[in-house]
Amino acid sequence: MFAGSRLITSFSKAGFLPKNLSSTNPVHKTPRSSLIFLFSFSIIGVLLGDGLLEPLMNMGGTAFLIAWFFVSLSSVRLRQKHPNLKRPYQAPGGIYMGYIATVFSVFLLSLIIIPGTPISLQGVEYVLFIAWILIGLVAYIMLHNKDIELEKINDNKGA
């Protein structure tokens, strides 16, 4: 919930989500609007029961693995293209840890996506997964040329 609220705030500040989701607490820099949004969404999900909650939780795990894949892949590419870039955080193992994380995330994603494995998605989860991919593609097509104001986002490091 806390990581998700920061992501929503960043996407909102970049213009990919409504601007009202980007407000933060002026003192503590906590993402107030996105936390309230996620809290409300979570309460509604709990009230809808296991029938809907379980597939959404499994999709959340799948989304986490996809994000992990892209972060680890980006880490590897950044270290390849800019090896002397100043990095405030040094991952143990350097670029090799990035390779390990990328391969491991691909392995786990394969187990989730390929039917019949012990942790594969089930029925409605595949429908949700395909719908999620299609929504993402539509959003990408609509927004991929949009200028992202990274400087403005990075100026609010606590936000």
Query: Tokens at residue 57, please?
Result: 């939780």
**What pLDDT is recorded for position 158?**
45
Mean pLDDT of the chain: 82
| Separation CA 15–CA 153 (nearest Å) | 11
- Per-residue pLDDT of 20-57, as tens digits, reads 888 888 888 888 889 999 899 888 877 877 777 788 78
- Per-residue pLDDT of 86-96, as tens digits, reads 878 778 888 89
Return the residue matching tokens 């200028």: 147
Q: Output DSSP code: residue 31.
A: -
Burial 121-133 (b: 16+ CB within 10 A, else e): beeebeebbeeee
**What pLDDT is recorded for position 106?**
95
What percent of the chain is predicted at pLDDT more than 70? 90
- Per-residue pLDDT of 111-143, as tens digits, reads 999 998 888 888 888 888 899 889 888 877 877
| Separation CA 126–CA 133 (nearest Å) | 10
Q: Answer whether residue 157 shows pLDDT above 70.
A: no
The candidate with the shortest Cα–Cα distance to 41, out of 28, 52, 29, is 52
Instruction: Write the DSSP string, 57-121.
Output: HHHHHHHHHHHHHHHHHHHHHHHHH-TT---SS--TTTHHHHHHHHHHHHHHHHHHHSTTSTT--
Q: Answer whether residue 12 shows pLDDT above 70.
A: yes
Q: Output DSSP code: residue 146.
A: S
Q: Answer whether residue 101 shows pLDDT above 60.
A: yes
CB–CB of 76/99 below 8 Å?
A: yes
Angle between helices 50-81 and 123-143 (to 10 degrees): 50
> What's the maximum distance between 2 C-alpha atoms anywhere in the chain?
51
pTM of the model: 0.66
